[in-house]
Amino acid sequence: MYPARREDLVGTALAMHTEEVAADGRLRLEMTFQDSRHGEWALWQLSMDGEALAPQWLRTALHNRATAVATRYEESP
């Protein structure tokens, strides 16, 4: 995630376990959220400023949500 969005995510998490700066300057955080719904919501708020690297179910949930939104807006009203 981009460092400028760090507080947006940290402020909603229950706990932060690890934090490191990757070679590209982006932050890698390991966090705990209340439940899967909360984790999905928190990452979705970051839009393109963040990426869930794990767990796979969260990556899949975000992908499915993004696909559904894109599909809704590509269709004619």
Q: Running along the chain, 77 residues long, what does each successive block of 10 average in pLDDT?
A: 93 96 95 96 96 96 97 84
Beta-carbon contacts of 1 under 8 Å, excluding residues fewer than 6 positions away, are: 9, 26, 27, 29, 46, 49, 50, 51
Residue 38 has a pLDDT of 97
pLDDT at residue 76, as a whole number: 73
User: CB under 8 Å to 34, separation ≥6 — which residues?
Assistant: 14
